[in-house]
Amino acid sequence: MKINARKLSLRILDEIEQMHEFSHVVLGRTLNQYEIDSADRRLTSQLVFGVLENKLLLDYYIRKLSAQRFTRIDRSVVNILRMGFYQLKFMDKIPESAAVDESVKLAKSISQSNGSFVNGILRNFIRKGKNIELPNRKQHPITHLSIMYSFPEWLVAFWIEQYGIAFAEKLMFSSNKTPKLSIRVNTNSISVDAFKLTLDQVGIKYKESELIEEGLLIDDLNGYSVKEIPGFENGAFAIQDISSMCVGKYAGVKDGDVIIDVCAAPGGKTTHVAQLLNQTGQVIARDLHEEKLKLISENAQRLNLKNIKIEQFDAMLVDETLIEQADIVMVDAPCSGLGIIRRKPDIKYNKSLESLNELVPIQSEILSISSRYVKPGGTLLYSTCTLNVHENQEIVDSFLSDHPDFEIENISDQSYLTLFPSVHQTDGFFIAKMKKMTL
């Protein structure tokens, strides 16, 4: 029997709420359980991510149009309404009648009265021209932006404080846009030109990255799934965001280098620098979580990289055997992930200022301990996928003032490289490169 994409989306949304799991995990797991065609797969992903990206706005509509108190509405019916509003407001290609009728059908499967309830609310929304007035922007700018972009008020205020209101607004807007797939060509296995030719042959459309030579942005997969892209099985490419590839690019990898990656799973940066070593040297790839090490080894195996040694190790502990052993140490620290909201919209709703602040001493400690592994003259890289000055610049500034034997090395003429989805069309990302001075 053909699986209904809306029914599946509802099941996924209900499960995300009940199990408090990341949306991409539940979505991936559920989609894998069914033989589902690519159009339904796309619709399901779009509905799930679209609802999560716009949840506060959609809930605002429900609150404004429902006679019943929001907290009294059945949780599944809330998700049906969210999906209905999302289709009406954001999916131009879906006829209004289909959006309403399909939502009513789902609600009726719970109860007849829920069917009429959903029908009434969605039709009222259409009657109002699908426009519900938001809180006044001048009088309540934070509340207005919070609802408009579905960012919690604390995060709106936090980004405004760091970047100013105009930049923060662009950042929220672009953080709600699903990113393109980005690919790193495994230049150990195929040249960029030869790989582009194989994509041309199967009609996959792409653009070259302006930041990374071996980076490609996929515009249109021409119906292929990622695993069906030619060369996947043979390790012709890895999936990695362009921002994350910048760590490898600016690491200054030379043949024969010893590189330690203290927070390596799932292995994006590890496999990139291993590739840049041209089958020489060694990358010691470590992570705290045993179960995640498997991801590094799967990636390394598929990419046919033999110069990676994978180990479980807590970066908060000192490994005396590695003191001053590395040409390059990479600290891709655990962080709040505010730069990858476009991939994981759940991050908007499950973080708090307190949870961000709790990360700072951990990041500081990992950086300080890892710096001991750098050889004199070697390189220390600190990176995060977050946009928070306390987890980024301030960590590095305080490290440098406590470690006078390290100095900052400019990246593209700046002390630190910060990438923004709104400016660079990458994940939000921070990189600092430091050099250990020779005596």
Q: How far is the CB of 429 from ligand SAM (least distance, A)?
A: 10
Does the protein bind ligand SAM through residue 268 (CB under 6 A)?
A: yes
Q: How far is the CB of 85 from ligand SAM (least distance, A)?
A: 34
Q: Is 267 annotated as a binding residue?
A: yes
Does the protein bind ligand SAM through residue 345 (CB under 6 A)?
A: no
Q: How far is the CB of 94 from ligand SAM (least distance, A)?
A: 36
Q: How far is the CB of 336 from ligand SAM (least distance, A)?
A: 11
Query: What's the N-to-C CA distance of the chain in angstroms?
Result: 72
Binding mask 293-332 for ligand SAM (x = CB under 6 A): ---------------------xxx---------------x
∠ CA(425), CA(427), CA(432), 5° rounding? Answer: 110
Does the protein bind ligand SAM through residue 269 (CB under 6 A)?
A: yes
- 206 forms beta bridges with 218
Q: Is 287 annotated as a binding residue?
A: yes
Does the protein bind ligand SAM through residue 230 (CB under 6 A)?
A: no
The active-site residue, picked from 58, 107, 277, 385, is 385
8 Å CB contact between 47 and 6: yes
Does the protein bind ligand SAM through residue 292 (CB under 6 A)?
A: yes
DSSP 256-275: T-EEEESS-TT-HHHHHHHH
Does the protein bind ligand SAM through residue 241 (CB under 6 A)?
A: no
d(CA 400, CA 434): 9
Q: Which of 264, 273, 300, 432 binds ligand SAM (CB under 6 A)?
A: 264
Q: How far is CA 106 from the centre of its chain?
A: 31
Identity of residue 273: V
What residues contact residue 87 under an 8 Å CB cut-off, 6+ apart? Answer: 47, 94, 98, 99, 103
- Grouping H, G, I as helix, E, B as strand and the rest as coil, residue 326 is strand
- Tokens 């990255």, located at residue: 209
Q: How far is the CB of 212 from ligand SAM (least distance, A)?
A: 14
Does the protein bind ligand SAM through residue 344 (CB under 6 A)?
A: no
Does the protein bind ligand SAM through residue 266 (CB under 6 A)?
A: yes
- 379 forms beta bridges with 328, 435
d(CA 326, CA 42): 44
Q: What radius of gyration, in Å, describes the C-alpha atoms of the chain?
A: 24
Does the protein bind ligand SAM through residue 265 (CB under 6 A)?
A: yes
Q: Is 385 a catalytic residue?
A: yes
Q: Which of 235, 267, 345, 421 binds ligand SAM (CB under 6 A)?
A: 267
Q: Is 194 annotated as a binding residue?
A: no
Q: Which of 287, 319, 391, 427 binds ligand SAM (CB under 6 A)?
A: 287
Residue 52 burial by Cβ neighbours in a 10 Å radius (0-12, 13-18, 19+): buried
As a dihedral over the C-alpha atoms of residue 360, residue 361, residue 362, residue 368, rounded to 10 degrees, the angle is 110
Q: Is 314 annotated as a binding residue?
A: yes
The piece of 124-132, 194-202, 261-269, 340-348 that touches ligand SAM (CB under 6 A) is 261-269
Does the protein bind ligand SAM through residue 334 (CB under 6 A)?
A: yes
Tokens coding 384:
């995060």
Identity of residue 174: S
Tokens coding 249:
């690019």
Binding site for ligand SAM (CB under 6 A): 244, 262-269, 287-289, 292, 314-316, 332, 334
Residues annotated within a binding site? 263-269, 287, 314, 332
Catalytic residues: 385
